[in-house]
Amino acid sequence: MSPSKDNHSPSRTQLLIVGGGPVGLTTALLLDRFAIDFVLVERASGVTDHPKARGCDIRSMELFRQWGIGEKIKARGLPPGSDTFAMVDSISGREYGRTVPELDVGHSPAWRCLVAQDVVEEELFDVIRSSKHGRVLYDTEFTSYKDLGGDGVVVHTRDLKTGKEQEWRADYLIGADGAGSSVRSQTDITMRGPATLAVMANEFWQADLSHIPRVTQTAGYRVRPENPREAIWTVLNGASDRWLSAGYVGKEDDERPLPRTDAEVVALARKQTGLPNLDVKVISRSIWRLSRQVADKFRSGNVFLVGDAAHRFPPNGGFGMNSGIQDAHNLAWKMRLVFDGKAGVGLLDSYDVERRPIAESNADFSLGNQKRFLKTDAALRSGNIDEINFWIRDSHNHLHSSGQSLGFAYEEGAVVQDGTARVALQARWYQPSDRPGGRFPHWWTDLARTHSTLDWFDREFVLVAGPKADGWIEAAPNVSEKTGVPIAVRQLDAANESDGIRLGLRGAVLVRPDGHVAWRMPWLPNDPVAELGTAVNTILCR
């Protein structure tokens, strides 16, 4: 069928999002919360039916809690305490040992959830389907765009069912279209780092293994390989009968003569489980490349990249999807302030300045975990119990990652540093802090433990003042009136440095809509209105 042209004038939207995976859907959800018009186009006919990524980290679960979908996602994941790896001959056979779950020490109102990507997409889309500010167009592919500078972008799409082409005018284009991003390929943005560390094959299959002890308390099984090519990582996805096996099939390309047939996938599943008569149903399969790449910039003119379009990590540690969710969370509130004329367009440059270093950190963390997997496989092949036990213990550095999830901080960008020294990130341990750039600490604000300090930060700036900081509380509405920027006020009953709070009795911090501290002054100056006003104008590039 030859494509038909839309003879009407270009359709108009503020944001056009390309890609309907979890990051694109998160972007749409956030734009809707900030009342920004959007259109999301996605080539597929709906949300994915393949588990792909798995695991929502603590920060993502905090955001899902805020957006009203945290409990729904949690209910469809593995039970609490299942974040363990087991090293085995087979799932039903000998177990050499396993890791222990990370202890929740109360730094968050939420906790990580081992849940598959298809579930996350379904829950996000369930919110977006009733959006008042945008729409999702499935079976629609992005074909090209032209950047018009101060006049936004012209974007062309094609309906894959009818062949009809559509022209759109938008202020900005957001590429959320994954590792092989078509949006990125049409920009001057390049990826840095190895594009292919290995070629991997996923087999998604169904079989009831609920009779195996502790199976629903195990995130994944590292099955002892007879040789490096047989190393398989088998994970449970949400229920005791949904499994995903991932294994190496080549260095640069799929080196197998042919992909596995259904019969071969069934045989593989039976070998992995140690159950020769297991009833196995093949659901789907996919081929993907193990990469460690980060874009040299996350913005080109009026185009922004989020998620895998901007960074590709090894899946070890589960930071790919989660980093993308936090990309969107960083960008949306800035868009709202720029559209409202309350921030200079330079605020949007802070997206790249802030998020790219975090992507590099998460990429390194993920690559380290991938190398740890190779060492664990070698230990299993050796059969040396001491060597195996060493790598089991070392795997706690993979799974216990609260610091990597919660402790990242923005050193530059839409923050005003106060001169205190940066504290090195410890991936395994999170240290709460109200230092500029970091996520403001959590603690419960009611005895029932239903409301958190994190609930204060959503759509506007918040001044958090110390117990005796009445001067700051009086200054906030004055600054808000002068700058035109809404600033809510919260006052602490206590300021305990043991909880990471150093703003003091008479100090204050200004927290951004995304929950990151933008500015701190742990004392009351002679002119708090001038100090706070200067901080707001600096942060918003005015």
| pLDDT block averages, 10 residues each, the chain of length 542 | 44 97 98 98 91 88 98 92 92 95 96 92 96 96 97 98 97 97 98 93 90 88 80 69 87 89 93 94 90 97 98 92 97 98 96 98 96 93 95 95 97 97 94 97 94 97 97 97 96 84 96 98 97 98 92
CB contact at 8 A, 172 and 152: yes
* pLDDT at res. 240: 62
CB contact at 8 A, 185 and 191: no
**Which of 386, 379, 385 shows the shortest CA–CA distance to 225?**
379
CB contact at 8 A, 46 and 144: no
* pLDDT at res. 145: 98
**Strands (DSSP E) found in 316-460:** none
How many Cα neighbours within 13 Å face the side chain of 437?
Answer: 23
Q: Kindly report the pTM of this predicted structure.
A: 0.94
Residue with tokens 């409990």: 71
Q: CA 533, CA 309: separation in Å to the nearest integer?
A: 37
**Strands (DSSP E) found in 89-197:** 95-98, 113-116, 134-137, 140-147, 153-159, 165-175, 191-192
Q: CA 269, CA 176: separation in Å to the nearest integer?
A: 33
Which tokens sit at 299?
């913005």
**Which of 337, 298, 336, 304 shows the shortest CA–CA distance to 541?**
337
Burial 307-336 (b: 16+ CB within 10 A, else e): bbbbbbbbbbbbbbbbbbbbbbbbbbbbbb
* pLDDT at res. 5: 41
Q: CA 303, CA 175: separation in Å to the nearest integer?
A: 7
Residue with tokens 């069912």: 161
* pLDDT at res. 538: 97
**Which of 106, 109, 114 shows the shortest CA–CA distance to 63?**
109
